[in-house]
Amino acid sequence: MKTVVVCASKKYKKEVRQFCKRLEQIGVVVFEPSIQEPISEDAFFTSKHVTKMIFKGLTLEHFDWIRKADVCYIYNKDDYAGVGVTMEMAYASALGKPIYALSDKTGDPCRDALIDKIAKTPAKLAKLLGYKK
């Protein structure tokens, strides 16, 4: 059975949480993005250095999950992928990870070209990952 890391915009946090929860109910091991309590891009913590380290830590944490997962899944609702998802797709591609997505469109043909397979539901993604349910 394969593991999956989900990459998504924080604007879809509710839908992403439901998608990940359904995958977990099927038995899939999911690395879920830390977007349930998003930090605003203009947040400030104690100092400029501390703020930078917090954002860097969040980015590197997700990169670590991409490295550990078998498959990278892009939750690109409304054919949207932002800057963070773009970096995550590039990292997954550089590591040779398969990239699956909700839609074959991301708003950019270069990103679109990185998508290997489409899975519009948790059940379809689980099936691609080798789960029977």
Query: What is the value of pTM for the model shown?
Result: 0.90
Asked if residue 56 has pLDDT above 90, the reply is no
Phi, psi torsion values for 42, nearest 5 degrees: -100, 15
Residue 133 lies in a domain: no
Residue 92 sits at φ, ψ, to 5 deg, of -60, -45
Domain containing 28 equals 3-128
Domain count, the chain: 1
Cβ neighbours, 10 Å, residue 57: 11
Residue 31 in any domain: the answer is: yes
The rounded distance, in Å, linking the Cα atoms of 11 and 70 is: 25
User: What's the N-to-C CA distance of the chain in angstroms?
Assistant: 12
Q: What is the pLDDT of residues 27-55, one digit of tens each?
A: 999 999 876 666 667 777 778 888 788 87
Domain membership flag for residue 44: yes
- The CATH number of the domain where 95 resides is what? 3.40.50.450
Q: Has residue 89 been placed in a domain?
A: yes
